Amino acid sequence: MRRDVAKARDYARRHGVPKVHERAEDLIRDPEIDAVYVATLPATHCELALAVAAAGKPCLVEKPMALNHAECLRMTEAFKTRGVPLWVAYYRRALPRFLLVRDLLASGAIGRVTSVHVEVNAPLAAGDKASGWRFDPALAGGGLFFDLASHCFDLLDFLLGPITGVWGVATNTGGEYAAEDATASAFSIGDRVIGTGIWNFNADRVFDQMTFKGPAGELRTPILGDTDVIVMRGSGEGDADVHAVRNPPHVHQPLIQAIVNELRSGAPSPSTGESAARTASVMDRCVANYYEGSG
């Protein structure tokens, strides 16, 4: 479905898609459509997903799941009531890199994890680069924090378990757009892991890394990039195990396959509406100061 039906028909012709719709409601109600993927702006996710639930069809929703946690709860309740699955496109849960990281942590590669630090930096977007929907809270729920930190918190939920406590502060340091451009967070996972995070979108360079520490070493992994996973033991780089795992050609494909597998055989996909709603709750609390008038 696309509002510009000529472009939709062109895409369909080039990719062998047998049917085109000009309106979302027509696609959702089409009796030949078994499941729906909502890949629109976050501001429309809740409304469209509720329509899919009303039609009794399984649904995959892009991330972030919705504008806020309250909308996420409406969505999960609707699908629970109808007894059909709701998934969210946090595709990193199915990537080989993070399956490896989860296995390394679970096997005690650095001992019991005691802390984690997340850092994501990028230069300030300005001018035309700052005019897209990702910088408009009315369309995205927040700024780049909602777009990128959502992956970070969702990964922590996947790798270590749900975040049980969180504090955050957000601000605008560059004045190029209305949304926050720098956010800090402190959080806990269970009662034995503490964490911190910095998402600075007014920095001098692009950088992203998640660092886990334990009594037997340290594990570093990119979050958004495609570089090595490194396990450090001892005090020198010579004590490092380097895992040169790389992303597949199409990063979303492993999660899509997991969803297909669930539809066909019942094997659960790793990214659900419930897990994504937990991530939305964490993000809301991180930026609450900014959007409730003190930022």
- HSE of 143, CA atoms in CB hemisphere, 13 A: 29
Question: Residue 238's pLDDT is what?
Answer: 67
Question: Residue 266's pLDDT is what?
Answer: 83
Question: Residue 292's pLDDT is what?
Answer: 86
Question: Three-state SS string across the chain, please?
Answer: CCCCHHHHHHHHHHHCCCCCCCCHHHHHHCCCCCCEEECCCHHHHHHHHHHHHHCCCCEEECCCCCCCHHHHHHHHHHHHHHCCCEEECCHHHHCHHHHHHHHHHHCCECECCCEEEEEEECCCCCHHHHCCHHHCHHHHCCCHHHHHHHHHHHHHHHHHCCEEEEEEEEECCCCCCCCCCEEEEEEEECCCEEEEEEEECCCCCCEEEEEEEECCEEEEECCCCCCCEEEECCCCHHHEEEECCCCCCCCCHHHHHHHHHHHHHCCCCCCEHHHHHHHHHHHHHHHHHHHHHHC
Q: Residue 264, exposed/middle/buried by CB under 10 A (0-12, 13-18, 19+)?
A: exposed
The stretches in the chain having pLDDT less than 50 are 294-295
Distance CA 120, CA 143 (A): 14
Assess contact for 36 and 57: CB atoms under 8 A: yes
- Select from 91, 34, 73 the least CA-distant residue to 248: 91
Question: Residue 64's pLDDT is what?
Answer: 97
Question: Residue 17's pLDDT is what?
Answer: 95
Question: Residue 221's pLDDT is what?
Answer: 98
Other CB atoms within a 10 A radius of the CB of residue 279 amount to 29
Question: Residue 234's pLDDT is what?
Answer: 77
Structure tokens at 117: 């630090």
Q: pTM for this one?
A: 0.94
Q: Which domains does the chain have, with CATH numbers?
A: 5-90 (3.40.50.720), 92-252+279-294 (3.30.360.10)
First to last CA, the chain: 39
